[in-house]
Amino acid sequence: MYQPAITGSGVFTPSEVITNDELVVAFNAYAEAFNAQNAEAIAAGEVEAKAPSSSEFILGASGIEQRYVMDKSGVLDPAVMHPNLRQRSDDEPGIMAEMAVDACAKALAQAGRRADEVDLVICAASNHERAYPAIAIEIQQLLGAGGFAFDMNVACSSATFGIQAAADMIRAGSVRRALVVNPEICSGHLEWRDRDCHFIFGDVCTAVLIERAEDAMGAHFVIRSTRCVTQFSNNIRNNNGFLRRNRPDGMADRRDMQFMQEGRKVFKEVLPMVSAHILDHLASDGVTADDLRRLWLHQANKTMNDFIGKKVLGRVAEPGEQPNILQDYANTSSAGSIIAFSKCSDDLAPGDRGLICSFGAGYSVGSVLVERA
């Protein structure tokens, strides 16, 4: 049995930014046009008028101030309200693979490794741009990695589930070095015309390199243990899929073909589940909350993270103890906790312990207990 360790991490950040103010201008223009077009039906009580959004509402509801996206022109066009991504030929790299190569290159550089030393690539993300061939195999080819590759989808928990899968294979000796990469184009499945959620998501790609601790060439994080759990719920859902065209009205502009969430139910059910999961994980390893230097949580909502941090630590987290990056990146699904880890981990000293945790649709929760070495 070998000891797995995270030896490198990388983040690809899109070049385009949408601030809350920009988003509100676009949404309110759409809402005003909708209300004008449906004025008679609204007056008759047949259609509900669209309420305006505001930057104050967005910040108070989520803690988000801006988000990075692959394309802002379409999102900010009231007549479009979704990203405009060009059609690529089958001979070109896919957009998710292109993002992934950048993040993987940064993780490899941090670890001092070459791509041809990698023998496993897992593309773990909440959405994939095609069913097959696997995005992971395309990334493998573009990088020049060896071994094998596969895709994984556990929604917002995909990164931690991918880390567990890779760590288990390294521990067992079936692979020596693995890249777990999380390309998330969340702007593509968000309904930007829905006031309740139009501000939630952004785009990004993260990657971590996992290898045997004995092979590490510099400072690294030993993976002490991992834990995953799932419990079925419909409260976070996207009904899009390959059977869509085969069903009545399957190709209609249906709201449930984008991100759907029963926010209040998710808040009520997920927070106790995540808090209990983390505390059980720590207890099973003989670790107390006081032993943790850092919590890198899924970046969905500041209030949710504050609740979980207080429940796990038994107090309000001190500055830097539970870093939030969603004010800049928004919710980036599976990549959020890895962004926080990548950007807020260099200051830890040998022996310091921390926990990466992601949670979301499923419901699913994954946690990774690490120690600086």
Catalytic residues: 156
What is the rounded distance in angstroms from the CA atom of residue 147 to the CA atom of residue 268?
43
Query: Rounded to the nearest 5 degrees, what angle is found at the Cα of 250, between the Cα atoms of 247 and 252?
Result: 155
User: Count of alpha carbons within 13 Å of 129, Cβ hemisphere only?
Assistant: 22
> Token pair of 312, please?
């796990």
CA dist., res. 91 & res. 319, Å (int): 48
Which tokens go with 195? 């006031």
Q: Write the burial class of residue 269 (CB in 10 Å: 0-12 exposed, 13-18 middle, 19+ buried).
A: middle
Q: In whole angstroms, what is the distance from residue 166 CA to residue 185 CA?
A: 23
The C-alpha R_g of the chain, in whole angstroms, comes to 21
32 Cβ contact partners less than 8 Å away, ≥ 6 residues apart? 52
Judged on CB neighbours under 10 Å (0-12, 13-18, 19+), 290 is exposed
Largest CA-CA distance found in the chain, in angstroms, rounded: 71
The answer to whether residues 137 and 146 touch, using CB atoms and an 8 Å cutoff, is no
- In single-letter form, the type of residue at position 134 comes to A
| Closest among 64, 39, 44 to 53, alpha carbons compared | 64
Q: Tell me the helices (H) and strands (E) count for the chain, helix number first.
A: 10, 13
Distance CA(266)–CA(190), nearest Å, equals: 17
